[in-house]
């Protein structure tokens, strides 16, 4: 059962042990779709983080007040509201970024991670704890996005955050920015983690 105490675990859980992407495999669509550059990954991560934080806070605040039968509907409305807000804000900040992220900002609504957190966590703990946990999850999500985005951008474009790394004659690995690259890089990270885990286990035994 969840208690109300806040420990460092509350935060770090989402970053590492239960990383939403690498461990729980949640919200895979945006993870793969918008990570063809680091900047997109960062923007997506922050947008998701914002929605996660605000919806977790709100859900936690009103958790004792909403009837059980309508809770999912209410969560969805809350999430959709914040997503719409983010959508317009990003449009106002930069049209180019908005075009690059495409429909995936709006698709944050369907990100199972956010609804999952609202249902399984935020609706059961007090606001501050929920907020801390959401922050961890959001940071974990963003880190995962950056892991993908940076690899894909470095190989696929020869740049990092837009800065040229290899000079103008660098041959870009176009595949990395294409859909298969997304699958391969995420799969590659998971393989790497599994390999490291197994090696550690072997050393221990």
Ligand X SMILES: Cc1cc2nc3c(=O)[nH]c(=O)nc-3n(C[C@H](O)[C@H](O)[C@H](O)COP(=O)(O)O)c2cc1C
Site residues (CB under 8 A) for another protein?
25-26, 28-30, 32-33, 36, 65-70, 72-74, 76-78, 80-81, 83-85, 87-89, 91-92, 94-95, 99, 103, 106-107, 109-112, 115, 156-157, 166, 169-184, 186-187, 190-191, 194-195, 198
Examine residue 80 and tell whether it contacts ligand X (CB under 6 A). Answer: no
H-helix or E-strand spanning residue 96: helix 95-101
Q: How far is CA 175 from CA 152, 178, 180, 197, in A?
A: 9, 5, 7, 28
Q: How many residues bind ligand X (CB under 6 A)?
A: 2
Q: How many residues bind ligand FES (CB under 6 A)?
A: 6
Burial (0-12, 13-18, 19+ Cβ within 10 Å), 8:
exposed
Q: Which of residues 157-186 bind ligand X (CB under 6 A)?
A: 174, 178
CA atoms within 13 A on the CB side of 197: 8
Q: For the chain, how far is it from start to end, CA to CA, in angstroms?
A: 33
Rounded to an integer, what distance in angstroms lies between the CA atom of residue 146 and that of residue 175? Answer: 18
- Min separation Cβ 187 and another protein, Å: 3
User: Cα angle vertex 51, ends 48, 56, to 5°?
Assistant: 120
Examine residue 182 and tell whether it contacts ligand FES (CB under 6 A). Answer: no
Choose among another protein, ligand FES, ligand X, none what residue 92 binds, the Cβ cut-off being 5 to 8 Å by kind: another protein
- Min separation Cβ 170 and ligand X, Å: 17
Site string for ligand FES, 99-138 (x = CB under 6 A): -----------xxx--------------------------
Nearest residue to ligand FES on Cβ basis = 29
Which residue, among 109, 106, 128, has the nearest Cα to 60 in the 3D structure? 128
- Min separation Cβ 46 and ligand FES, Å: 18
User: Cα angle vertex 126, ends 121, 131, to 5°?
Assistant: 70
Task: Please give the residue ranges that form the binding site for ligand FES (CB under 6 A).
Answer: 27-29, 110-112
């Amino acid at each position: 059962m969840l208690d109300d105490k806040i420990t460092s675990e509350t935060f770090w859980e989402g970053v590492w042990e239960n990383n939403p992407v690498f461990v729980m495999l949640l919200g895979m669509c945006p993870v793969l779709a918008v990570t063809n550059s680091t900047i997109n990954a960062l923007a997506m991560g922050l947008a998701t983080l914002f929605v996660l934080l605000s919806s977790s806070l709100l859900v936690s605040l009103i958790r004792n007040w909403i009837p059980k039968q309508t809770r999912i509907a209410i969560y969805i409305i809350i999430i959709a509201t914040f997503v719409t807000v983010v959508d317009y804000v990003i449009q106002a900040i930069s049209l180019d970024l908005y075009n690059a992220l495409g429909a995936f900002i709006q698709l944050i609504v369907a990100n199972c991670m956010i609804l999952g957190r609202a249902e399984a966590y935020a609706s059961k703990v007090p606001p501050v704890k929920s907020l801390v946990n959401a922050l961890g999850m959001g940071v974990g999500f963003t880190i995962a996005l950056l892991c993908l985005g940076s690899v894909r951008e470095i190989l696929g474009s020869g740049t990092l955050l837009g800065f040229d790394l290899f000079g103008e004659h660098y041959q870009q690995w176009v595949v990395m920015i294409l859909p298969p690259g997304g699958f391969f890089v995420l799969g590659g990270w998971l393989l790497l983690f599994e390999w490291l885990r197994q090696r550690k286990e072997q050393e221990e035994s």
